[in-house]
Chain A
């Protein structure tokens, strides 16, 4: 379970998260929607400890992410994250991209790591691209590779940060399909997305972010289907 409790986060003097509280249960898919600059990406990076917070707590399976003694490298094995910008490691081929962390972090042998990586690459539909360099992949393929790379660490949670935003429209579908598949398999996910229809379809709950605060959170039928706050209504109007 991920527990986010009254989290405040500033960049310098700019406070971008102003007291956010929410929980994500095992097996749940929670989508975060909201306008540009509302703090969605920042929150995800606080969850896996890439960014420090100034106030509050984030606990993952009971471990306080920002406590002094927390071994972040170890904690991050539990949490896969895929970003909006494609960030394949350009000097490694697809298979090597996926095996790097299992080998160096988990200490698996090359053979074990290759087996796991191949399994996940086949799963995301890249079984025929193992030896290809990432620069030869389309954006959609790169994002699916990034998903496989995260999955190869056998995470308990997956965080997605607008993974389809930088893609050509015709490539969005294949990545969303991969995420649908994961959610169907019971993966616990937090999905930051601008794809409102997708959020409505796959999420157990949807949170609407606005200026560093959650304005509404609840079932998709409520937050997207029947929003109550004027900010939510305005936002949905602007994106639908």
Chain B
């Protein structure tokens, strides 16, 4: 045991790591936005009376939830690559996490949709609102309120999952930056400990921010 800690050396690289953290937040947030949009469609798909829609939505959800996230990201990088569609590491990571998010969120959303009494839809349709208007103005706002906290967890998960980008050559996010610094300096423990603290902080800040937004958004 002759490893001596050099925290100063690690801390001097903090600005680079914070830049990486910003990229991490970017990927995770984008993947969340895309995941929410697709997740809503998948949830409606699973509740649809059309069998093709129902089965395809179920297939997506099942795959996203029952295979390793790592493989899902691999697929968008190497898998699509072998069909001639080359995504750069950022896009592959984004697609992988968005795919995973959509699958998990679809299940959450489906539960949320089912928790809304059918009488709400009936009341809205009786007033002359179309099916789409009813979803947009009556059903979805209520669903998002129900699923808001589970959604927050998915955002945290999304941030943590993005660290897998390193395996498809992602170098600009927090894990990528950390890995590079580690390779150059061999201060493995210091850099990864620092990165862990930053991930922890991002997770906690996400939850805090969600609390504030939820509190502001959902009046009763």
Enumerate chain A interface residues (CB-CB to B < 8 A): 45, 48, 50, 73-74, 76-77, 79-81, 83, 85, 87, 89-91, 93, 100-101, 104-105, 133, 135, 146, 149-150, 153
Contact (A90, B220) CB under 8 Å given A83-B119, A104-B137:
yes
Asked whether A83 lies within 8 Å of B128 as measured between CB atoms, the reply is: no
Within 8 Å of chain A (Cβ to Cβ): is B219?
yes
Q: List 10 A-B contacts (CB under 8 A).
A: A48-B126, A50-B122, A77-B128, A79-B126, A90-B220, A101-B128, A104-B137, A105-B127, A105-B129, A150-B127
Separation in Å of the A179 CB from the closest CB of chain B? 17
**Distance in Å from the Cβ of B119 to the closest Cβ of chain A?**
5
B120 touches A89 (CB 8 A): yes
C-alpha spacing A90/B126, complex, angstroms: 17
Q: A91-B145, A100-B138, A105-B128 are in contact. List 5 more A-B contacts (CB 8 A).
A: A74-B128, A87-B123, A89-B124, A101-B129, A149-B127
Alpha-carbon separation in the docked complex, A146 to B218 (Å)? 22
Q: Once the chains are docked, how many angstroms separate the CA of A76 from the CA of B127?
A: 6
Closest CB in chain A relative to B115 CB, distance in Å: 12
The verdict on A85 contacting B129 (CB below 8 Å), with A90-B142, A133-B220 known, is no
Are B129's CB and A104's CB within 8 A?
Answer: yes
Main secondary structure of the interface of A (DSSP, over half): mixed
Chain B residues with CB under 8 Å of A135's CB are 220
Q: Is B6 an interface residue (CB 8 A)?
A: no
The CA-CA distance from A143 to B164 in the complex, in Å, is: 54
Q: Shortest beta-carbon distance, B171 to chain A, in Å?
A: 44
Q: Are A73 and B129 in contact (CB under 8 A)?
A: yes
Name, among B117, B128, B219, the residue most crowded by chain A CB atoms within 10 Å (CB to CB).
Answer: B128
Question: Residue-by-residue, is B73-94 near A (CB-CB < 8 Å gives 1, otherwise 0)?
Answer: 0000000000000000000000
In the assembled complex, the Cα of A45 lies from the Cα of B220 at a distance in Å of: 30
- In Å, the complex CA distance between A98 and B218 comes to 19
> A73 and B119: CB pair below 8 A?
no
